[in-house]
Structure 1
């Protein structure tokens, strides 16, 4: 028996020893002994490779055998080393500076770089489309650091909580991932995540997917949503001569190929263009490598500078593809200086992958559950770039904290700290209480959303707590009870809303609501009780008009096919008009401070207290079908996440009032919406539009709440949701006949303001837009506006017309819900 066990042990040891690949590692330095970070290291005539880390250290696991390792870094001479690898081997390498040979140019002639760039432009489209299909492995890594910050905010407790050193610097976020990237043209991409690991809070600028970091300077324009609202011009774009100056800085020979170094200089600092160097291979005029930068004057957001480096390797005869792409960034916010990088390492290119016929569909990324369950042993064996010591410590601390967080003692302590009540955050955003396992959330809204004042109820409170439960599979339960009490009327309205998301992959849910409430006469209204309270108290203008409804509602939504979302909703309600409180009591309608009597709750006849409609009952159905063409999505374990679409969407709506079971209405309404948000317009920013047309096929019997309503913007604070008017009186223009409305807005992303001295330092974005509404009852309405925006702050100024008469002009502070 003992002999048998020994044999088994020897066999297992032999198998493990055979399976374990030897490792070549070392440090890469320059002549002066300075470590060279992010140097490409790859096996000659293959696409197997890695990068050195921030300390210049590298390692590469290979099967035993003879290899030629190639070391390549922009600005350094490429170096090769022969190695017979049978066991773990240390191989330190010194790179010499590249020696550039300058050509003699005619004194009166243009710089030689221009002729080279023209040749690269002529080959740009060829190289863009040269490779039809490929698959490869991609290793992604990202790190964000706090460099420094105001001392008054970095006390000992903060330093400890963020794992910062005594100088207030350290790692804030760290991530790495292994993916399989499959490519069959720009419209057929599929990323399959194999493993992912992250520690810390996600930064605002994030490139942690292979499809995010994939960058081709063979495209005319390059765009990153997180970075800017406009695109950037490639130095070899077909129109690049209008944006760049070029200078020849020399050439060098590498593996028998002549490589030219060309400096690219933005003609105007405010242009959406790069500064730096590109390297072109002579004769072929393909990109050999590049090192380019964007600065804040190019109107980039969240960061002050972004550096992009990209290196290429031969994958096959005459085919070169990226071996690495790297984004380095640096910024400053409120005195805090931060920096970071994201990099992608490409390996094991296959130009004849033989994709299964059903591989490419609208799912562009697949994230299986097991991708997040890889342990330290996996990462030690599958991480091509060695961690630096600070990175190791950061992961260790976060992993230790993660294990500690599983204990009941820690969960109880964390729950107590996280749920600690703070008055100012509650005043601004409400108060959240989470269960210690994070699966339940309780919310109490801000006091600004609780207390209200209007002409119908006068002072009142609107208590709307919220309970939400999260399941690991993405299913959620959401319950929102509401208690609304008018002190003047001594009247309580109560209702409860509940929804259950039962199939995240199909965006499928059930929802319902029952009770009573005072509702806005405009069912598309966008004025909150808080904004109305401020308006009524300080300007004596009551923006909201109410009616009372007792109702029971129920509905469901879900995708029947990818990109086809159906929604159905039934309601039975008892509705009645309301007058201002003083009319309902024995008191006389008050005189306002401006000497004018208070307007009534009837928006169509503000000088009269005649009810807008009689009390009636309504049984109605509302349904819609939304079509998103070529809808792409990422499939996660907790649900389906829709990617931004470059195509317009269409929504078909239908609403029916049934004259049965005591219902007093009888109508049929249908409409079609055609809309798109953020249509890219290259260097000129992006556009958004919304067009809608509809009619009442049958209008035998309906009342004002059943009319087609429109999203207006009477208050100074305006919601800029797609399909909203800036200045429209949203009650007066409601209709029970046909209508046609349109909205268009364009954000230039700083195209004009960036050209103005001093102003361009503010990095503002200019906006123009307009809307129109035509319907059979009133004159045509139209409005025009322009505005400026910086991050989340935006102010517009515009004009509104009823027919040919100007009815309003003024400012709006614009926000988006």
Structure 2
């Protein structure tokens, strides 16, 4: 992989997996990563464990890594590598963190899922180390690693510690299950999943500088069958920082934006939205819906019927105090894991209003 912060970089992974529950196909997983940037000469590595115990799952991690400022994973590493080398589009902005984290998940009777996690991290902003592109004429397009000051590598934040506690609750109304000697396995529900999440930046614990409280609610349903009329997916999320005394940029609420031709499109994707500019530390309302017509129209056209194209229609909406109103509509076709999508946006922001783009969606994994 390649990025403007590390230059050419290697990312080597090694893992061990052992099945410990054949009924539910659950595994004990141990794995690690070693990452080295050949230009900035930074070495990072971490180890991770996933430990299932009956209806509980424990996740443990520790080490150091380079991570995206936007925790939504909007821009896959492969796409950023291609864009940076080919056209000088180094859209991904990174920072370095040293961390220790633990997470616990448990399923209560009735298929109510509980989730709790704690992370301590030491965060360090990084400047670019190279403006290399395959063609020298594109080198001037390389922007700094600060998305709010693209012409100069001024630190986005000072080095700091952050202790973060997260609690989550979700329920999908499923009351159907299969019984096994080792427990129950709940079957998918026809109803949406409801979620409630609370995250606290715990000030002064282990030297933490963060001090905030974020409350979020969500409703999500994927692939709701409509019989011969296709499938419908939708999501609603809203949240508020009820305390934002000290919120560093990595802890902002980020959104799944996109600015390049190729996109790993998700239901939550905004196809015309900047990756970083409109993240918030106040409040937000976010809505997404997508209708897959499953060939209702294309199956009636002889030349297209054999291709088994699926028609896609999507609507997306976002409101924050900074962005105000933002909406998108997208139309296109899907063939297996490939999509070609036209997107049009409407916004109170002049640079986003009436913006028209073509995106090629590719499911990488």
TM-score, structure 1 as length reference:
0.42
**One of 208, 223, 228 as aligned partner of 1:663:** 208
1:601 corresponds to: 145
- Counterparts in 2 of 1:495 and 1:816: CA distance versus 1, 3 Å: closer
Q: 1:631 Cα shift?
A: 4.1
Q: 1:718 Cα shift?
A: 2.2
Q: Distance in 2 between matches of 1:644 and 1:786?
A: 29
Q: Distance in 2 between matches of 1:799 and 1:642?
A: 40
1:777 corresponds to: 322
**One of 28, 35, 47 as aligned partner of 1:496:** 47
Q: 1:816 Cα shift?
A: 7.0
Q: Distance in 1 between matches of 2:193 and 2:33?
A: 34
Are 1:454 and 2:8 an aligned pair? no
**One of 12, 15, 25 as aligned partner of 1:466:** 15
Q: 1:700 Cα shift?
A: 0.5
Q: Distance in 2 between matches of 1:475 and 1:683?
A: 35
- Counterparts in 2 of 1:797 and 1:642: CA distance versus 1, 3 Å: farther
483-492 or 465-474, which moves further after superposition?
465-474
* Matched ranges for 1:347-362 at <5 A: none
1:610-661 Cα deviation digits (max 9, x unpaired): 1111111111101211111134333456775443321011111110011123
- Counterparts in 2 of 1:638 and 1:468: CA distance versus 1, 3 Å: farther
Q: 1:810 Cα shift?
A: 1.5
Tell me the secondary structure at the aligned position of residue 464 of structure 1: strand
Q: Distance in 2 between matches of 1:518 and 1:561?
A: 39
1:335-364 Cα deviation digits (max 9, x unpaired): xxxxxxxxxxxxxxxxxxxxxxxxxxxxxx
Q: 1:756 Cα shift?
A: 2.1
1:652 corresponds to: 196
* Matched ranges for 1:67-466 at <5 A: 452-466=1-15
Q: Any conservation in 2 of the 1:476–1:502 contact (CA below 8 Å)?
A: no
Q: 1:695 Cα shift?
A: 0.5
Tell me the secondary structure at the aligned position of residue 189 of structure 2: coil
1:485 corresponds to: 36
2:95 corresponds to: 547
TM-score, structure 2 as length reference:
0.91
**One of 525, 536, 557 as aligned partner of 2:84:** 536
2:292 corresponds to: 747
Q: Any conservation in 2 of the 1:675–1:691 contact (CA below 8 Å)?
A: yes
**One of 70, 73, 78 as aligned partner of 1:522:** 70
Which ranges of structure 1 fall in alignment gaps of 5 or more residues?
1-451
**One of 685, 698, 712 as aligned partner of 2:257:** 712
Q: Distance in 1 between matches of 2:230 and 2:283?
A: 34
- Counterparts in 2 of 1:770 and 1:514: CA distance versus 1, 3 Å: same
Tell me the secondary structure at the aligned position of residue 354 of structure 2: strand
1:186-205 Cα deviation digits (max 9, x unpaired): xxxxxxxxxxxxxxxxxxxx
2:178 corresponds to: 634
Which ranges of structure 2 fall in alignment gaps of 5 or more residues?
none
1:642-684 Cα deviation digits (max 9, x unpaired): 4332101111111001112311011000110111111222322
**One of 233, 236, 255 as aligned partner of 1:691:** 236
Q: Any conservation in 1 of the 2:340–2:358 contact (CA below 8 Å)?
A: no
Q: Any conservation in 2 of the 1:475–1:638 contact (CA below 8 Å)?
A: no
Q: Distance in 1 between matches of 2:19 and 2:183?
A: 12
Q: 1:582 Cα shift?
A: 4.4
Q: 1:777 Cα shift?
A: 1.1
1:85-117 Cα deviation digits (max 9, x unpaired): xxxxxxxxxxxxxxxxxxxxxxxxxxxxxxxxx
- Counterparts in 2 of 1:602 and 1:637: CA distance versus 1, 3 Å: farther
1:487-542 Cα deviation digits (max 9, x unpaired): 11222101111110111xx3x20011101111110111132222211111112111
Q: Any conservation in 1 of the 2:60–2:102 contact (CA below 8 Å)?
A: yes
Name the structure where helix makes up a greater proportion of residues. Answer: 1
Q: 1:815 Cα shift?
A: 2.3
Structure ID, larger Rg: 1
Tell me the secondary structure at the aligned position of residue 234 of structure 2: strand
Higher relative contact order (CA 8 A, sep 6+): 2
Tell me the secondary structure at the aligned position of residue 67 of structure 2: strand
Q: Distance in 2 between matches of 1:738 and 1:454?
A: 32
Q: 1:597 Cα shift?
A: 4.6
1:735 corresponds to: 280
- Counterparts in 2 of 1:724 and 1:623: CA distance versus 1, 3 Å: farther
**One of 87, 102, 124 as aligned partner of 1:576:** 124
Q: 1:715 Cα shift?
A: 3.5
Tell me the secondary structure at the aligned position of residue 581 of structure 1: coil
